[in-house]
Amino acid sequence: MAKKQQIAVPQIEEVHEIWDLLTDEQKVYLKQSAKLQHFSKNDLIHREGEIPTHMMLLVRGKVKIYKTGVGGRTQIMRMLKPNAYFGYRAIFATNSYHGYNTNARAFEDSSVYMIPAEAASKLLHSNANFAYDFIKRLADELGASDARIVTLTQKHIRGRLAEALLFLKDNYGLKEDGKTIDILLARDDIASLSNMTTSNAIRTLSTFAEEGIIEVQGRVIKILDEEKLKKIDKLG
Amino acid sequence: MAKKQQIAVPQIEEVHEIWDLLTDEQKVYLKQSAKLQHFSKNDLIHREGEIPTHMMLLVRGKVKIYKTGVGGRTQIMRMLKPNAYFGYRAIFATNSYHGYNTNARAFEDSSVYMIPAEAASKLLHSNANFAYDFIKRLADELGASDARIVTLTQKHIRGRLAEALLFLKDNYGLKEDGKTIDILLARDDIASLSNMTTSNAIRTLSTFAEEGIIEVQGRVIKILDEEKLKKIDKLG
DNA sequence: ATATATTTGTGTTATAGAACATAGTTCTAC
DNA sequence: GTAGAACTATGTTCTATAACACAAATATAT
């Protein structure tokens, strides 16, 4: 009965927050260059080490950006929601940081505008306001990454997990009940977001639940006591 | 006998790698806005939390950029040598990452061109090539910061120390003997560069010395076996 | 020059969190 | 709808590294 359904996604001018910074000519150029691409759940969008070909704009779904470290251990660096750009760092960097340093994988079915690297580069070179916007994005990301170094190296497990849960809440929001975090993650992903083993993520989530701070049903997590969570985030 | 000596530092056009990207008008503007300032050893240049007023260009000396984490524990984020810009991220970032997120302190007597934030901002807004150069700088720094997250959370002590020593060598170079790392650091600083306690930095340096990988005399460190150091860096 | 503070060095103990082991449970695919 | 795989859960052991304690060596200030 079910027909193959056309996936509804917005036009690039609707989601591209900085569309208005472009000249008419540049708008046409961007619209022509950018191609929409769909990814299924768990699809790899780009891989660490690959030569970057596109700057990407997520318009539907959720994506994780992660690195593979010592002994294949995974570290989630960022988690994206619609309207987020990604893959652009790799295009701009020089020397040893040129190329994708990370993997990008769809958590859920996702749609992405693929903007060819040279188109992105051309636009940035020819439009200072547009460039300035990316400077701001990079500056924010760098601030976050630096902050993360201190968090992940210095905080204890409970503090890291609390921070991760608060981040998920801030990033993806809550469902209508005002409690349920609006993303479903495997324990494994929670672990590699907060730099701990899967066992410890599971254990610590259970402890938080016992303490009445959260409620857990499978992958559904409800925040019951945000203040307490913030306290743990700050003080361990 | 010794007269108060004028400190010899280059003019801004000599060190400002991207000087050529500016128009004549912009050159005059930059030259007028930038003021030279000297800092003595251990002077604080800017403090975490302060509202950023300047983008800075180090022209003489060495500077550490560090954060203060849990219980006042220090984490060195970056170490600068002449010709490095710093403090610019704080100017560009929005939201929670606006403002200096780090402290900057002179390791040795240093000289810095202070470029007012609004001048930097104006130049970037009006010159896309100039802006693009900063995009590249930020992209490199972000790549480095992301890589550091994995290093500091996943590598073991020996690997982290080895990496730190190799970084110091790459960043500051070697003296004429081709062995001595051209920067003097307290054990404390080595520790907060490689995320370990001072005791462990001391102990592990001693072990490396026993193994004939390095030679240590006070703060002077010679690299005797770089290959071995690289091996430890990679494989722990 | 001498006292005081800071840094370096080394041994000892304590512990957070990884590693391992094993089951129960829930997905996924044919 | 059943088999196998992947995920979740929990208990136990082990270890890397922090924390602590103290001494020796340097640096800094008066």
Q: SS3 letters for B6-55?
A: CCCCCCHHHHCCCHHHCCHHHHHHHHHHCEEEEECCCCEEECCCCCCCEE
Residue B108 to residues A179, B9, B76, B171, B172, Cα–Cα distance (Å): 52, 15, 16, 16, 13
Best CA proximity match to B132, nearest among A133, A107, A220, A52: A133
Please name the residue that has the structure tokens 């240049």: B45
pLDDT for B160-176, tens place per residue? Answer: 999 999 999 999 999 99
Q: Looking at residue B4, what is its pLDDT? A: 42
Say which nucleotide is closest to residue B209, CA to C1' distance: C9
pLDDT tens digits along B188-235: 999 999 999 999 999 999 999 999 999 999 999 999 999 999 999 998
Q: Which residues of A touch B89 (CB under 8 A)?
A: 139, 142-143
Beta-ladder partners of A54: A116
Q: pLDDT tier at A4 (50, 70, 90 boundaries)?
A: very low
B5: confidence class by pLDDT, cuts 50, 70, 90: low
Lowest model confidence (mean pLDDT) among A11-25, B79-93, B215-229: A11-25
Would you say how long chain A is, in residues? Answer: 236
Pick from B150, B44, B52, B60: nearest CA to B99? B52
Q: How far apart are the first and last CA of chain B?
A: 54
Angle between helices B117-126 and B24-33 (to 10 degrees): 170
Residue A128: the pLDDT is 86
Q: Which nucleotide is nearest to B217 (CA to C1')?
A: C8
Query: Which of A67, A132, A155 is nearest residue B124 as measured by Cβ atoms?
Result: A132
Residue A185 phi, psi (nearest 5): -125, 145
Mean pLDDT of A180-189: 96
Alpha carbon B77 to its chain centroid, in Å, reads 8
Average the pLDDT over A201-219 and give the result. 96
Which tokens belong to A124?
Answer: 């940035």
Distance CA B185, CA B191 (A): 10
At B141-158, the pLDDT tens digits run: 999 999 999 999 999 999
In the structure, what pLDDT confidence band is assigned to residue B75 with cuts at 50, 70 and 90? very high
Chain A: residue nearest B120 by CA? Answer: A132
Q: Is the pLDDT of residue A216 over 90?
A: yes
CB contact under 8 A, A138 and B138: yes
Angle between helices A157-172 and A128-154 (to 10 degrees): 150
Protein CA at B220 to nucleotide C1' at C8, angstroms: 13
pLDDT score recorded for residue B2:
36
Task: Identify the band that residue B68 occupies on the pLDDT scale cut at 50, 70 and 90.
Answer: very high
Nearest to A153 among B93, B144, B153 (CB): B153
The answer on pLDDT for A3 being more than 50 is: no
Residue A176, pLDDT > 60, answer yes
pLDDT digits (tens, 9 = 90+) for B19-35: 888 889 998 999 899 99
What does the alpha-carbon distance between residue B15 and residue A161 come to, in Å, rounded to a whole number? 45
Confidence (pLDDT) at B128:
86
What whole-number distance in Å separates Cα of residue A210 and Cα of residue A153? 26
* B102-145: pLDDT as tens digits: 999 999 999 999 999 999 999 988 888 888 899 999 999 999 99
pLDDT for B12: 84
What does CATH list as the number for B23-153? 2.60.120.10
- Which of B73, B143, B150 has the CB atom closest to A97's CB atom? B143
Closest approach of A64 to chain B, Cα-based (Å): 14
Q: How many residues does chain B have?
A: 236
| Token output for B178 | 């081709």
What does A30-87 look like in DSSP terms, one character per residue? HHHH-EEEEE-TT-EEE-TTPPP-EEEEEEES-EEEEEE-GGG-EEEEEEE-TT-EES
Q: What is the pLDDT of residue A76?
A: 97
Alpha-carbon span A59 to A48, nearest angstrom:
22
For the domain B156-235, what is the CATH code? 1.10.10.10
The residue with greater pLDDT, B18 or A6, is: B18
The model's pTM is 0.93
User: Is nucleic acid strand C under 7 Å from B206's C-beta?
Assistant: yes
Put simply, the answer to whether B146 touches A77 (Cβ < 8 Å) is: yes
- Position B6 scores a pLDDT of 64
**Which residues on adjacent β-strands are paired with residue B57?**
B85, B113
B11 vs B226, residue with greater confidence: B226
Residue A59 in this model has a pLDDT that exceeds 50: yes
Q: Which residues are CB-contacts of B93 (< 8 A; sequence separation ≥ 6)?
A: A136, A139, A140, A142, A143, B99
| CA angle in degrees (0–180, nearest 5) for B160-B163-B166 | 155
Sort strands B103-106 and B85-86 into parallel, antiparallel or unpaired. unpaired
Fold of A19-153: Jelly Rolls (2.60.120)
Domain positions in chain A = 19-153, 156-235
Residue A2 confidence class, pLDDT cut points 50, 70, 90: very low
pLDDT at A16: 66
- C24 C1' to B21 CA distance, Å: 66
Q: For residues A152 and B17, give the distance between their C-alpha atoms in angstroms, rounded to a whole number.
A: 35
Condensed to tens digits (0 to 9), the pLDDT of residues A90-124 reads: 999 887 777 899 999 998 999 999 999 999 999 98
What distance in Å separates residue B60's CA from the closest CA in chain A?
A: 24
Concatenated DSSP letters of B80-148: E-TT-EESHHHHH--GGG-S--SEEEESSSEEEEEEEHHHHHHHHHH-HHHHHHHHHHHHHHHHHHHHH
- Say whether the CB atom of B186 is under 7 angstroms from strand C: yes
